[in-house]
Amino acid sequence: MTMTRNSNPRQEIICWQCNEQFSRLIPKNIDRWQTICPYCGAECAVDLKPYSTKKSVFRQGDSELDIHAQYNLPKIIRSNKVV
């Protein structure tokens, strides 16, 4: 097995328009993305930036800093209207 699976966590999202809850995979390295509510079809903007905790972990080589983006996500995130 050479397949490497990134453990993209699923995130529970509340639609800003109809208040229904659904889950989506969190895209890798994206602080903010848009998805479509499966219930009402509204475009939902999901902003992970407020929950990101970027840490510099270790120095690699001469000057490269390995930055790991992590998120302290709540169980459910309320989406925003796409503007």
Residues at the contact surface with Zn ion, assessed by CB under 5 A: 15, 17-18, 37, 39-40, 42
- Closest Cα partner for 80 from 47, 36, 31? 47
Nearer to Zn ion by Cβ, of 15 and 77: the residue is: 15
Nearer to Zn ion by Cβ, of 16 and 26: the residue is: 16
For residue 45, count CB atoms less than 10 angstroms from its CB and return exposed for 0-12, middle for 13-18, buried for 19 or more: middle
Cβ atoms of 9 and 73 within 8 Å: the answer is yes
Q: How far is the CB of 47 from Zn ion (least distance, A)?
A: 17
Cβ atoms of 28 and 6 within 8 Å: the answer is yes
Nearer to Zn ion by Cβ, of 52 and 78: the residue is: 78
Q: How far is the CB of 39 from Zn ion (least distance, A)?
A: 4
Q: How far is the CB of 14 from Zn ion (least distance, A)?
A: 9
